[in-house]
Structure 1
Amino acid sequence: MRWNLNVAVGVLVAVVGVGLMVAGAVWKGRAVRPFAASRARSMAQREYARDLQRAADAVIAAARRSAGEGEPAIVTVEAVVRTTRERYGYAVVERRHAAAALRRRFEHWRCAADCVTDAYG
């Protein structure tokens, strides 16, 4: 077999491709995982706060949907805690964090006109 330019380029491309696949298998997911523990903690805290906020939004929306005509929607901190545990899989959700998230979203959505909550007590 004689080596010509086409064969040499083909072999080079194949070797580089196999090398990239091996490197991807070895370092799988490394770019996604943070290298520093402090960055991992801060990311987990941001994600926890965002999930609490989303759970509070979901609870407010569900309470507004279920309220009857002329009745105030009742939004509880316990509902936010339960929704955060069920939807986002947290084993421990502090009540004070859930109450703070509910207060922020309660004010953001201007719920005082048609909702009642225990987050301020």
Structure 2
Amino acid sequence: MTWNLNTVIGLLVPLVGLGLITAGIVWKGRAVRPFAASRARSVAQREYARDLQRAADQVIATARSSAGDGEPAIVTVEAVVRVTENRYGYAEVERQHAAAALRRRFEHWRCAVDCVTDAYT
């Protein structure tokens, strides 16, 4: 077997491709994860706020759909805490954070017309 340029390239290309595939398997997702602890904390805080907001939206939607004709929908902070803990897996949700998220979503969806909440107390 004589070594010429075509033989070297023919062997080198598959070996480089195999090396890239192996590196991709080994380092899968590493670029997505933050390296610094401060970045990890800020990402966790953003996810916590987003999950509280989603839970408040779900509680408002559920209360509105379960309210009868002419009845106000009752939206409680405890319902937001419960949904956040059960659906998003948080061990403990502070009531003041849930109340703040519920107030924001309450005003965003203009719920004062047909809803009642305890988030302002």
TM-score scaled by length of structure 1: 0.94
After superposing the two structures, state which structure 1 stretch, 58-67 or 11-20, moved more.
Answer: 11-20
Match of 1:17 in 2: 17
Match of 1:113 in 2: 113
Amino acid at match of 1:95: R
RMSD, aligned α-carbons:
1.2
Distance apart, 1:68 and its partner CA: 0.3
Question: Are 2:79 and 1:79 equivalent residues in the alignment?
Answer: yes
Amino acid at match of 2:120: Y
Give secondary structure in 1 for the equivalent of 2:33. coil
Give secondary structure in 1 for the equivalent of 2:62. helix
Superposed counterparts of 1:63-102, under 5 Å: 63-102=63-102
Match of 1:103 in 2: 103
Aligned partners of 1:38 and 1:19: how far apart in 2?
Answer: 33
Aligned residues: 121
Could you tell me the percent identity over the aligned residues? 81
Question: Are 2:57 and 1:38 equivalent residues in the alignment?
Answer: no
Aligned partners of 1:10 and 1:109: how far apart in 2?
Answer: 63
Aligned partners of 1:47 and 1:7: how far apart in 2?
Answer: 53
Q: Deviations over 1:65-89 (max 9, x none)?
A: 0000000000000110111111111
After superposing the two structures, state which structure 1 stretch, 3-12 or 30-39, moved more.
Answer: 3-12
Amino acid at match of 1:105: R
Distance apart, 1:22 and its partner CA: 2.3
Distance apart, 1:30 and its partner CA: 1.0
Match of 2:7 in 1: 7
Aligned partners of 2:114 and 2:36: how far apart in 1?
Answer: 45
